[in-house]
Chain A
Amino acid sequence: MLMKLSYLLLAGLTNGSVYGLIGLSLSVIYGSSRVINFAQGEFVMLGAMSAVLFMVTLALPWPLAMLAMIAVVIVAALALDYGVYRPLTKRKAAPLTIMIGTLAAAIVVYGLAFLLWGPDQKFVPPVLSLTPVRIGFLVTNTQQVSLIVIFLAFLIATWYLLYRTRFGLTVRATGVNPKVALLMGIRSERIVQFSFIFSATISGVAGMMVGPLLGGHVGMGLLLTVKGFMAAILGGLGSPFAAAAGGIAIGMMEALMAGYGTSLYAEPAIFVLILLVLIVRPYGLLGDYEAERR
């Protein structure tokens, strides 16, 4: 019994880390620009598919492949910034209109990726090993464990950046009020651009690490975007840590629901739970920060 529970918790943590990584990266962009990025999952897809391109097709060693992959997602992030975000903000579009813009961008990215990689689910080579390892009485593999590690690493990095550096202060200031931040001499466009790049990097790395487990498919982005959305609103969009916590919560709920309840209806049931949480707490579980700011 204890064994089952530990497995469930480990699975919840692993899955939650993936959702949390996407929630975290969604929230990084939201925090600086008030935009929900429908193309977030496409960064994950680009991460996984670039791994295929660089590690299989071009046969690079994985550290090089990772650098190349990060270059790819940064290019995509800049394209999103210069092609969608800036022109729309210049035209004073509402945040929800910009969200539709990111959806259009997601369609374009999917279309291009489809031309490049075709429709098949691809084998993404593992960076670490997929052979079983024992942790106490639990059996898992390093590739899976690495997801939790990466999640924690990015969480700490984000925290350090936002709360322990001068730069982070400017980022937070921009998120609270871009106009005032501008008056204070902060170049908010730069800040937003940085958040796009940082967020794309998180998602890209997540994609490369989760690819060997989820498989690489040009259509995988949408599903992960939705999971990230749910993580972010469950925790609270305003803070990256709340969004990350939302991801872990969803992962845990999924695992426990599948383990002890119905696995068939786990997905809809979790969406219902999220709805209920939002009814009680309209800004997410940890969303007080944003409620105050409004």
Chain B
Amino acid sequence: MYRISQLLYRSAAVAGLLVALGAAASAEPLKLVICHVDDRSGSAADTGIESLNGLKMVIDPLNEAGGINGQKIELITYDTKTDPQLAANFGTRCSEDDKGLLIIGGSPSAVANSLVTVANQTKTPLYILAAAAPNVTDNADYQFRFGPKVTQDSIAVADALSKNGIKSVAIINNSVPFGISGAASATEELAKKNITVATQQTYDVAATDVSPQVINLMQADAEAILVYPYPADGARVIRTIRQMGIDKPVIMPRVGMMKAFRELAADTGNGVLVPSSVDTTRPEVAELFKKYSEQFGPLAISPSPAQGYDAGTLTIAVLKDEKVQAAIQAGDLQGARDAIRDATRRHGDFVGMQGTANSGYHFSKDNHGPTDEGFFVFVKVADDGKSLEAVDAAAALKK
């Protein structure tokens, strides 16, 4: 019986631990708790860290100035390590234990997907950040996205190509989910504009030499090349393309802007076109990135800080909303969450740091995300990767 009693003791200890974990006090009125649940290590760590910093750039000054009606916003952060299961745990922990009013996070799509399930189950509003998967805002109720769908990148690309009269495109992508789903969504959008995909080539991120795939690109002889890589392999692809003497225009969504890509590609990166959801020619956007660099160290242009900043801006607007405040003062948690969802729809049509000056977020009604049209600008890598130039997409690909 010795063993059994020990076992009982052990299990009781574990149960006790579980209970102790949940001893979160709830006071009236509700505390302004929001959670950032995102990768800060793992494969999308950069996006999670940058968006958290962007979020802090809005929330910290507000708290220093005294918060909202004397209440400071409490920001709880969880690191999801690109593990959807862990993300769901932390999301649930935020909503059930921390009594979070709002969850912000989900840069990798898998993490975002599992947070969506949590948001629906616990009826907690969710601001999704960089996730590119198109379906996270399908039939959306509590969830809103700040990052554009991969479909939107593809629409922007297909649009630009068709405006330039290009009829055939070759796609090359890496074999991680970003590359595979990027290529798949591009194929779909290009078909809608009657642009043929001459060939689609996939390579392994661990492959040092991508010439087999590039040979096939060369033989397909399309009018333009669309690349879905990570930064370092993107540089490898563009080097190989130029090395083999292919001088077709190259479009590289998202990654083309990143510093690691531009450094690694150096002179071969010149002229690479990037559809970008961040328009640095807008003075307020340039100012944001300048302030970010001063506060957190040097940063290449990337949408994540802007997404975090915009999510923070909207959070504050929503928390200040009368109806939300009424529910918060009454200590009605679910009422406050529902009010936040409704207020997000009311305040959610605005121009933030992402998008162009005349096209921003559109959260009212069924959209729950950025506008489909005109959200992207095109930039061109120039100066051996040292700078990015804004270009007019409609003329960019004309020879």
Contacts and interface: CB of A to CB of B under 8 A. Distances in A.
Interface stretch (B14-22, B211-219, B332-340, B341-349): B211-219
Interface stretch (B24-32, B146-154, B232-240): B232-240
Interface stretch (A9-17, A73-81, A170-178): A9-17
Contacts of A255: 209, 212
Given A122-B260, A214-B232, A266 B204 contact: yes
A11 B260 contact: no
Given A120-B260, A123-B264, A263-B201, A147 B243 contact: no
B244 A144 contact: no
A264 B211 contact: no
11 contacts: A4-B215, A11-B211, A18-B206, A119-B40, A213-B209, A214-B232, A215-B264, A219-B42, A224-B206, A258-B212, A263-B203
Nearest to A114: B41
Nearest to A219: B43
Contacts of A123: 259-260, 263-264
B257 to A, nearest CB: 13
A294 B2 CA distance: 44
Interface in A105-143: 111, 114, 118-123, 130, 132, 139-141
A114 B46 CA distance: 11
Q: Which of A123, A217, A266, A267 has the most CB of B within 10 A?
A: A123
A96 to B, nearest CB: 24
B207 A141 contact: no
Q: Which of B201, B202, B207, B215 has the most CB of A within 10 A?
A: B207
Given A215-B264, A255-B212, A258-B213, A267 B46 contact: no
Contact of B216 (A12, A139, A215, A259): A259
A5 to B, nearest CB: 10
Interface string B41-53: 1110110010000
A223 interface: yes
Interface of A: 4, 7-8, 10-12, 14-15, 18, 111, 114, 118-123, 130, 132, 139-141, 144, 147, 210, 212-217, 219-220, 223-224, 227, 254-256, 258-259, 263-264, 266-267
A247 to B, nearest CB: 12
A12 B212 CA distance: 9
A18 B208 contact: yes
B300 to A, nearest CB: 9
Interface of B: 40-43, 45-46, 49, 175, 180, 200-213, 215-216, 219, 230-233, 235-236, 239, 243-245, 258-260, 263-264, 266
Contacts of A14: 208-209
Per CB-CB distance, the 6 closest pairs between chain A and chain B, nearest first, are: A215-B232, A119-B45, A123-B263, A14-B209, A11-B209, A258-B212
Contacts of B45: 114, 118-119
Given A4-B215, A212-B264, A213-B236, A119 B208 contact: no
B204 A267 contact: yes
Contacts of A18: 206, 208
B243 A266 contact: no
B298 to A, nearest CB: 11
Contact of A141 (B203, B243, B245): B243
B215 A119 contact: no
A119 B41 contact: yes
A111 to B, nearest CB: 8
B232 A121 contact: yes
A219 B232 CA distance: 13
A267 B175 contact: yes
A252 B194 CA distance: 36
B37 to A, nearest CB: 17
Contacts of B204: 254, 266-267
B211 A121 contact: no
B231 A215 contact: yes
A144 B208 contact: yes
Nearest to A258: B212
Q: Which of B204, B212, B243 has the most CB of A within 10 A?
A: B212
A125 to B, nearest CB: 9
Nearest to A17: B208
Contacts of A122: 260
Nearest to B210: A11
Contacts of A15: 207-209
Nearest to A143: B208
Contacts of B210: 11
B230 to A, nearest CB: 7
Contacts of B41: 111, 114, 119
Contacts of A4: 215, 219
A122 B243 CA distance: 22
A255 B201 CA distance: 12
B301 to A, nearest CB: 13
A293 B245 CA distance: 53
Contacts of A140: 209, 243
Contacts of A254: 204, 207, 212
B231 A11 contact: no
Given A18-B206, A130-B239, A258-B202, 8 more contacts: A7-B212, A122-B260, A123-B264, A144-B208, A214-B206, A215-B231, A215-B264, A217-B232
A134 B245 CA distance: 12
A204 B118 CA distance: 43
Contacts of B258: 121
A7 B211 contact: yes
A10 B235 contact: no
Contacts of A267: 175, 204
A263 B232 contact: no
B109 to A, nearest CB: 17
A216 B263 CA distance: 12
Contacts of A266: 202, 204
A168 to B, nearest CB: 30
B208 A210 contact: yes
A258 B203 contact: yes
Contacts of B207: 11, 15, 254
A264 B46 contact: no
Contacts of B236: 213-214
Nearest to B245: A139
A223 B230 CA distance: 14
Contacts of A259: 212, 215-216
